[in-house]
Amino acid sequence: MDYTTILIIVAVAVVLKNLAPKLVKFGEPEKAPNKSEWHYKVRFAKLNRELYDQSNAEEREELLYYYTQKLRQKDNYGEASFKDMPKLLQVVYLIDKLEMEVQNGGLLQFFTNSSRQYAQETLEALELVGDPGAKQLLEKALETVVAHHESPQSLNEKINSKKIHEIFNTSDLYDNAPLMDAMNALDNKFYDLKSSYSKHKMSYFEKHKEEVWEKLNQKQR
Asked whether the predicted pLDDT for residue 46 surpasses 60, the reply is yes
Query: Which range of residues forms the domain containing residue 89?
Result: 35-220
What is the per-residue pLDDT across 80-122, written as a single tens digit (0 to 9) for each? 999 999 999 999 999 999 999 998 889 888 887 777 788 889 9
Q: What is the pTM of this model?
A: 0.74
Asked whether the predicted pLDDT for residue 203 surpasses 90, the reply is yes
Tally of domains within the chain: 1
* 19 in any annotated domain: no
* 30 in any annotated domain: no
* 212 in any annotated domain: yes
Q: Taking the mean position of all CA atoms in its chain, how far away is CA 121?
A: 18
> Residue 206's domain is classified under what CATH number?
1.20.1420.60
* 3 in any annotated domain: no
* 2 in any annotated domain: no
What is the per-residue pLDDT across 164-183, written as a single tens digit (0 to 9) for each? 334 333 355 667 888 889 99
CB atoms within 10 A of CB 85: 19
Give 132's contacts (C-beta < 8 A, 6+ positions apart): 126
